[in-house]
Amino acid sequence: MNPAVKKGLAIVAVALLLLIPLAWLHGLVSERTALREQAIAAVARGWGGRQMLAGPILAIPVTTTLDNGRTQTRDWYVLPESVDLDVEVTIQQERPGVAFPSRCWRRHCAPILVRATTNSLSS
């Protein structure tokens, strides 16, 4: 057999042998990525998931007299035209597992300043 062919076959054999540890590393990286995603999901579940903040609603009790003489009390709800929120939130690192840090809100309540404007009510 030609020495060049022997060298070529040896190179192919070495390349195929090196694919085995490469496959092991790929499996390890995939497993670590899945564990990281699970750790982040566990922290998100522990902190309540998505946070939603709604603006203020002004409820005005209104008493009206019906045609039969009875009175009825209902609430009129007035929504602001614009809301300006000034919120200070601090993020801290948490380590739920051994190796996967994730960012979480600080555990104490953040100060929230709310300014809302509405049109003047006219009857």
Cβ-contact 114, 85 below 8 angstroms: yes
Half-sphere exposure of 96 (CA within 13 A, CB side): 16
- Domain residue spans in the chain? 1-49, 51-123
Digit-coded pLDDT (tens) for 11-65: 999 999 999 999 999 999 999 999 888 887 877 776 665 666 677 888 899 999 9
84-110 pLDDT, tens per residue? 877 776 666 665 555 556 555 554 566
How far is 116 from 56, CA to CA, in rounded Å? 8
What is the pTM assigned to this prediction? 0.37
26 Cβ contact partners less than 8 Å away, ≥ 6 residues apart:
none
CA distances from 120 to 50, 78, 102, 115, 123 (A): 34, 10, 47, 16, 10
